[in-house]
Amino acid sequence: TVSNTIIDVTSGWALISALSTDMRRVVRQSKFRHVFGQAVKNDQCYDDIRVSRVTWDSAFCAVNPKFVAIIIEASGGGAFLVLPLHKTGRIDKSYPTVCGHTGPVLDIDWCPHNDQVIASGSEDCSVMVWQIPENGLVTSMSEPVVVLEGHSKRVGIITWHPTARNVLLSAGCDNQIFIWNVGTGEAMITLEDMHPDVIYNVCWNRNGSLICTACKDKSIRVIDPRKEMIVAEKEKAHEGARPMRAIFLADGNVLTTGFSRMSERQLALWNIQSMDEPMTVNEMDTSNGVLLPFYDPDTNVVYLCGKGDSSIRYFEITDEAPYVHYLNTFATKEPQRGMGYMTKRGLDVNKCEIARFYKLHERKCEPIVMTVPRKSDLFQDDLYPDTAGPDPALEAEEWFEGKNGDPILISLKNGYVPGKNREFKVVKKNILDCKATKNTENSSPANKSASPTPSIKSEAKLEEILKEIKSLKDLVSSQEKRIIKLEEQMSKIAI
Ligand SMILES: *[C@@H]1O[C@H](CO)[C@@H](O)[C@H](O)[C@H]1NC(C)=O
């Protein structure tokens, strides 16, 4: 019986240790396990907005630490709203818009290096770059800083280079990709003949040396844009016929969403050195909305927002199998027509906010805050590693010549405080300076030439305004002197 007991004890231990290994697998340690989502109160929403109904699967919303931009319905053209973040509540019908496109706007993207600059792509085949006034629009804006023409079909994808100033990528339904030097208005790179069908999305890697694309031909491609070369490709990354998405992760792997042959939604991870087999595939459900991925390279958390879904599902990606770890789902009742995703430096670190979404309903935009529950009021440096700041690492010319630069990181320790209008360092040389040398008067947006031509206008206007401000200042100070003098005389009389 003694030996029997020993056997029992050892098998008992074996059982316990097997269980605890299992438990460890199930309850994996993660600081993001308890992240929870919360919609803001009704009065913190942006109301009475006619969100665009155009059939195109982009996010329709772009956010930065100063503004939320939303593509809206507009009769006889294309328009989007730009609202200062604090401009919540009912948005009046007459609120100014950005309305220079002659067809619906399909995609918008804020410049990562200047919070006043936003680019838009439209059904009118053009790309436009806009400079939003410091405190938002006072009147509607129909004159872009630059018009970029070259696409022969509608332009559905716009994305700024992450680390080089003034480098903008556009992809159109002509299946072409252009990479522009926005400062000069030139298309520096054209990627033709790489995509035989509609491009679903394009994503830069962390330092902008590569892009990855998802295409209707079911291929995922990794492209070196400056060599104009496909460096990796996976056909039938997802076998279903519905749209895919592909994004780069911080470590250089590619994460994709798509559909299986049985129309199940999938999430897969790929090592671009060997794309024959995915590192992992997760099957999710059988809804039919395109899964838009939003990714935080600092925490390695990816958020999936299905278009038409009413939930946000989030996962943590680690470098140990099975790599993709489901965290949680934030669910509401109402479906999302689009989604904005706040850049990291716009978050409230004092509340342990690790992501903020701007969910588009049919007629409103509702911020959703993702928070890590922590008791301490101190800065949680484990949640906020240094993050990409607003300064570019490179000039456009350097990048086109072949240089690379990692993002210039900033600490969020004394970061953004809502209500306090945090000024970023004024960019030394902005988009307006860059074009000073090339002030052609060939500026009518209607002037559609075959070769890409910039339309450059507002510098003179800006100069005029600055002059006027200066003369007003002079006037005020001279009036002030006069008032002081008069007051002195008055006081003498009173005595
Ligand atoms: C940029 O990223 C690529 C791909 O991850 C890497 O090979 C390269 O070393 C990086 N370059 C710089 C300057 O960071």
Q: Over the stretch 142-158, which tens digit does the pLDDT of each residue have?
A: 999 999 999 999 999 99
pLDDT for residue 432 is more than 70? no
Average pLDDT of the residues in 413-430:
46
Q: Is the CB of 252 under 6 A from ligand 1?
A: yes
List strands edge to edge, sheet with 229-234.
199-204, 211-215, 220-224, 229-234
Decide if 50 is inside a domain. no
Query: How many domains does the chain divide into?
Result: 1
State the pLDDT confidence band at 453, using cuts at 50, 70 and 90.
very low
Decide if 250 is inside a domain. yes
Q: Is the CB of 408 under 6 A from ligand 1?
A: no
pLDDT for residue 320 is more than 60? yes
Pick the residue whose CA is nearest to atom 11 on ligand 1.
404
Pick the residue whose CA is nearest to atom 3 on ligand 1.
209
Q: Is the CB of 404 under 6 A from ligand 1?
A: yes
What pLDDT does residue 366 have? 97
What pLDDT does residue 428 have? 37
Q: How far is ligand 1, taken at its centre, from the CA of residue 185, in Å?
A: 27
Decide if 212 is inside a domain. yes
Which token pair is 232? 């990796």
Residue 133: other Cβ atoms inside 10 A:
12
Decide if 220 is inside a domain. yes
Decide if 68 is inside a domain. no
pLDDT digits (tens, 9 = 90+) for 209-268: 999 999 999 999 999 999 999 999 999 999 999 999 999 999 999 999 999 999 999 999
What pLDDT does residue 3 have? 47
- The whole-angstrom separation of Cα 488 and Cα 393 is 56
Residue 406 CA, closest ligand 1 atom number: 14
Q: How far is ligand 1, taken at its centre, from the CA of residue 226, in Å?
A: 14
Q: pTM for this structure?
A: 0.80
| Secondary element (H or E) of residue 24 | helix 2-26
Residue 403 CA, closest ligand 1 atom number: 13
- The whole-angstrom separation of Cα 207 and Cα 308 is 32
User: If you average pLDDT over every residue of the chain, what do you get?
Assistant: 87
What pLDDT does residue 212 have? 98
Q: How far is ligand 1, taken at its centre, from the CA of residue 160, in Å?
A: 18
- The whole-angstrom separation of Cα 442 and Cα 427 is 27
Q: How far is ligand 1, taken at its centre, from the CA of residue 6, in Å?
A: 57
Percent of the chain with pLDDT over 90: 72
State the pLDDT confidence band at 425, using cuts at 50, 70 and 90.
very low
pLDDT digits (tens, 9 = 90+) for 344-383: 999 999 899 999 999 999 999 999 999 999 888 889 989 9
Q: Is the CB of 418 under 6 A from ligand 1?
A: no
Decide if 493 is inside a domain. no
Q: How far is ligand 1, taken at its centre, from the CA of residue 207, in Å?
A: 6
pLDDT: is 42 or 488 the higher one? 42
**Is 21 exposed, middle or buried, given 0-12, 13-18 or 19+ CB atoms closer than 10 A?**
exposed
Decide if 424 is inside a domain. no
Pick the residue whose CA is nearest to atom 9 on ligand 1.
404
Pick the residue whose CA is nearest to atom 6 on ligand 1.
209
Amino acid found at 122: S
Average pLDDT of the residues in 463-487:
83
Q: Is the CB of 77 under 6 A from ligand 1?
A: no
Which domain, by its residues, includes 223? 207-331
- Here the CATH number for the domain that contains residue 309 is 2.130.10.10
Q: Is the CB of 163 under 6 A from ligand 1?
A: no
Q: Is the CB of 458 under 6 A from ligand 1?
A: no
pLDDT: is 328 or 492 the higher one? 328
Q: Is the CB of 250 under 6 A from ligand 1?
A: no
Between 36-50, 374-388, 389-403, 473-487, the lowest mean confidence (pLDDT) is in 473-487
Between 48-57, 181-190, 245-254, 472-481, the lowest mean confidence (pLDDT) is in 472-481
Mutate to test the pocket of ligand 1, among 224, 249, 273, 404 (most ligand atoms within 8 A of CB): 404
pLDDT digits (tens, 9 = 90+) for 73-113: 998 789 999 999 999 999 999 999 999 999 999 999 999 99
What pLDDT does residue 465 have? 81
Place of tokens 């100063």: 66
Q: Is the CB of 176 under 6 A from ligand 1?
A: no
Decide if 284 is inside a domain. yes
Q: How far is ligand 1, taken at its centre, from the CA of residue 373, in Å?
A: 35
Q: How far is ligand 1, taken at its centre, from the CA of residue 404, in Å?
A: 7
